[in-house]
């Protein structure tokens, strides 16, 4: 099993190396990076390239580790016990009817090796990663209600992503292989754009990329635009048939790009950018 990139996804050499290292070590791959750098998509693409079904677990601030294993639906059982129909009476007999399997349970019991994505682990509270240590390490857990040990038939390929909103505990980090997706340099970015818009005119692309990196490099920006925002913006530029000239002023000074709302997402950043443009114009 080796990951070699895919036609929809541009993977740098070191990213491919990291994926294959995690596969070799049989450890979860922890992927960090700015939002929009392709962390979630990486799991989807690797799963597809290796021909594995992908189970996804999107973490929220309220997600608990136990939900990934299983949950016991006591309310439903109580209701069935009060229903008094033959059907419900029979269901109540077996507690397994009220065990809701979580993604780890599904991944462990799958008949073929699967990929498992634990997406945005830093959203959950600080205990969350620690609560999953044992399960991810031993690839097994115990269901107390049914007295069964759920053990992985095949070790799933685990991807864990983080947007770096919280630090992760050391004990957790020790068990992962780590990769940070650096923000793509211009040439990688060109390849990414090319995957999405193979027919984009080169001069428009060059001008748009220049504007994009200019905006990103503005000092003091609250939120830098990401890869996915560049892609959105390009899609708009193409849909609206914006000419290259609208992006390049003749004297190559900065001007406010059209549809800038695709790149800048708050008024402070827009104001900052406008100020810069204004100063540039005065300095002419």
Ligand X SMILES: Nc1ncnc2c1ncn2[C@@H]1O[C@H](COP(=O)(O)OP(=O)(O)O)[C@@H](O)[C@H]1O
In the complex, the residues that contact ligand X under the rule CB under 6 A are: 9-10, 33, 35-41, 161, 192, 195, 227-228, 231
Which residue(s) pair with 101 in the sheet?
70
Find the shortest distance in angstroms from Cβ 280 to ligand X: 30
| Residue of 65, 19, 34 whose CA lies nearest to 158 | 19
Q: Nearer to ligand X by C-beta: 161 or 248?
A: 161
Find the shortest distance in angstroms from Cβ 273 to Mg ion: 26
Contact 154, 23 (CB under 8 A): no
Cβ neighbourhood burial of 179 (10 Å; 0-12, 13-18, 19+): buried
41 binds, options ligand X, Mg ion, none, Cβ within 5 to 8 A by partner type: ligand X
| Residue of 200, 258, 56, 28 whose CA lies nearest to 129 | 28
Q: Nearer to ligand X by C-beta: 4 or 93?
A: 4
114 binds, options ligand X, Mg ion, none, Cβ within 5 to 8 A by partner type: none
Residues 6+ apart with CB under 8 A from 130: 169, 171, 172
Q: Is 118 helix (H, G, I), strand (E, B) or coil?
A: strand
195 binds, options ligand X, Mg ion, none, Cβ within 5 to 8 A by partner type: ligand X
Does 162 contact Mg ion by CB under 5 A? no
Q: What are phi and psi of 101, to 5 degrees?
A: -75, 135
228 binds, options Mg ion, ligand X, none, Cβ within 5 to 8 A by partner type: ligand X
Find the shortest distance in angstroms from Cβ 175 to Mg ion: 21
Per-residue b/e over 241-255, b at no fewer than 16 CB within 10 Å? ebeeeebbeeeeebb
Find the shortest distance in angstroms from Cβ 181 to Mg ion: 11
10 binds, options ligand X, Mg ion, none, Cβ within 5 to 8 A by partner type: ligand X
Cα–Cα distance for residue pair 247/215, rounded to 1 Å: 12
31-90 binders of Mg ion (CB under 5 A): 40
Q: Nearer to Mg ion by C-beta: 56 or 146?
A: 56
227 binds, options ligand X, Mg ion, none, Cβ within 5 to 8 A by partner type: ligand X
Cα–Cα distance for residue pair 228/214, rounded to 1 Å: 17
Find the shortest distance in angstroms from Cβ 246 to ligand X: 24
Find the shortest distance in angstroms from Cβ 72 to ligand X: 32
Which residues of the shown chain bind Mg ion in the complex (CB under 5 A)?
Answer: 40
């Amino acid at each position: 099993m080796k990951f070699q990139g895919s036609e929809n996804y541009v993977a740098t050499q070191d990213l491919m190396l990291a994926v294959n290292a995690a596969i070799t070590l049989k450890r979860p791959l922890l992927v960090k990076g700015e939002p929009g750098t392709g962390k979630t998509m990486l799991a989807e693409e690797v799963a597809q390239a290796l021909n594995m079904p992908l189970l996804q677990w999107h973490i929220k601030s309220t997600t608990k580790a136990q939900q990934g294993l299983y949950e016991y639906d006591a309310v439903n059982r109580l209701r069935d016990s009060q229903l008094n129909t033959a059907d419900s009476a029979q269901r109540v007999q077996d507690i397994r009817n009220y065990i809701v399997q979580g993604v780890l349970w599904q991944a462990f019991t799958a008949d073929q090796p699967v990929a498992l994505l634990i997406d945005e682990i830093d959203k959950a509270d600080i205990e969350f990663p620690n609560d999953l240590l044992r399960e991810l390490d031993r690839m097994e857990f115990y269901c107390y209600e049914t007295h069964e040990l759920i053990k992985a038939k095949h070790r799933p390929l685990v991807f864990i992503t983080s947007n770096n909103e919280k630090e992760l505990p050391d004990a957790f980090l020790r068990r992962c292989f780590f990769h940070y997706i650096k923000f793509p340099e211009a040439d990688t970015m060109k390849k990414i754009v090319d995957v999405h818009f193979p027919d984009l005119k080169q001069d428009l692309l060059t001008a748009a990329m220049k504007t994009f990196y200019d905006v990103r490099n503005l000092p003091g920006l609250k939120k830098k635009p990401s890869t996915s925002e560049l892609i959105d913006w390009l899609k708009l530029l193409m849909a609206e048939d914006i000419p290259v000239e609208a992006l390049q002023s003749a004297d190559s000074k900065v001007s406010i790009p059209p549809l800038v709302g695709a790149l800048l997402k708050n008024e402070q950043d827009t104001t900052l950018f406008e100020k810069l443009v204004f100063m540039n114009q005065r300095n002419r």
